[in-house]
Amino acid sequence: MLDSGPIRIGTRGSPLALAQAEETRKRLIAAHPSLGEPGRLEIVPITTSGDKDQKRRLSEIGGKGLFTKELEQALADRRIDVAVHSMKDVETWLDEQFTIAAILPREDPRDVFLGREVDRLADLPPGSVVGTASLRRQAQVLHRRPDLEVKLFRGNVHTRLRKLEAGEADATLLALAGLKRSGLEHIACSILEPSEMLPAVAQGAIGLECRREDESLLELFQAVNDPESAITVAAERAMLAALDGSCRTPIGGLARLEGGELTLRALLARPDGSAIWETERRGRPEDAVALGTDAGAQLRREAEQELFE
């Protein structure tokens, strides 16, 4: 454990990101009570490129790494000691100087539907507008409902809610985990089961990224690592890596541990929803990475190569 100076927890400055940093702080104090002493833990908000540009899709301005690169630079510069991320925003491959030291207990990974006039995606009238910035959500919505229109919706939870209330769309989709952590789960009209909307890889999971050389911190953070969450995230991210996945390609994945067996569902789609490829794997938890890699390799073989160009 560090003997001098505070442990600086870097985070994006959005309300949800700050809530996740606060959850991290509370879990660290519960695991190491001495960290509750004044000045031991400091939360450092950092504005990222993904927060600055709210008008274009992430795929158009550099990918989901836009939510993490400034935090990683702060790690490299030693302005912070740990970066708290939504794991769904973390790039598929980390710089070799960094590592994910812990995955906190995962929140519910499902998506929710919010509509102005109806409570379910299936009930939207033809021609209705669904607002989302996610190609994954767009592809699955249009695959099920090609009679709908999808419109770009960027911003944090509160920004998207204001846009919905202002009539910029008839409905939107959000992560249930984000609503729960923001104390807003009551606003969800309905929860979308994975059979209807497969979540993003690692959705609902919070990861703690550190410098690989900081062995004392890596040991410290192991106390808040949730093994089950780490296994499911590892399987999903292995699938993503096999697909060379980025936010430019609609990819969904969800792993679950039940009765000692790991189940992984994986999906790849055209952005317009006109084609979807899916697969499933079952196996031992210790084979999480191999199962994910195999699932991703199958989807890559079966899908059109133009998706990867």
Domain extents in the chain: 1-105+205-225, 111-192, 226-304
Please state, for a pLDDT cut of 90, what percent of the chain lies above it. 82
**CATH of the domain spanning 111-192, picked from 1.20.1250.20, 3.40.190.10, 3.40.50.2300, 3.40.50.300:** 3.40.190.10
Q: Supply the pLDDT for residue 158.
A: 84
Going by the DSSP 8-state scheme, the letter that residue 125 receives in this structure is: P
Same fold flag, 1-105+205-225 and 111-192:
yes
- The tokens for 279 are 């697969």
pLDDT in the model for residue 68: 87
Distance (Å) of CA 201 to CA 80, 120, 267:
26, 23, 10
Closest CA to 168 of 131, 133, 135: 131
| Catalytic residue flag (residue 123) | no
Question: Minimal CA–CA distance to 156: which of 178, 125, 134?
Answer: 178
Q: How does strand 82-86 pair with strand 7-12? A: parallel
61: number of Cβ within 10 Å: 13
CB 142 within 8 A of CB 148: yes
Least confident residue range of 14-23, 46-55, 133-142, 220-229 = 46-55
Task: For residue 97, give the 3-state DSSP assignment.
Answer: coil
Name 149's bridge partners: 129
Query: Which amino acid is present at 106?
Result: R
Please tell me the distance from the alpha carbon of residue 275 to that of residue 139, in angstroms, as a whole number. Answer: 9
Catalytic residue among 89, 111, 170, 214: 89
CATH of domain 226-304: 3.30.160.40
Tokens found for residue 63: 């990918």
Q: Which amino acid is at 184?
A: L
Q: CA-CA distance, 30 to 221, in Å (whole number)?
A: 12
* Each residue's pLDDT tens digit, 162-215: 999 999 999 999 999 999 999 999 999 999 999 999 999 999 999 999 999 999
Q: What pLDDT is recorded for position 37? A: 95
Backbone phi and psi for residue 9, each to the nearest 5 degrees, phi listed first? -100, 110
C-alpha atoms less than 13 angstroms from C-alpha of 282 in its C-beta half-sphere: 4
- DSSP type of residue 145: -
Predicted structure pTM score: 0.91
Provide CATH code, domain 1-105+205-225.
Answer: 3.40.190.10
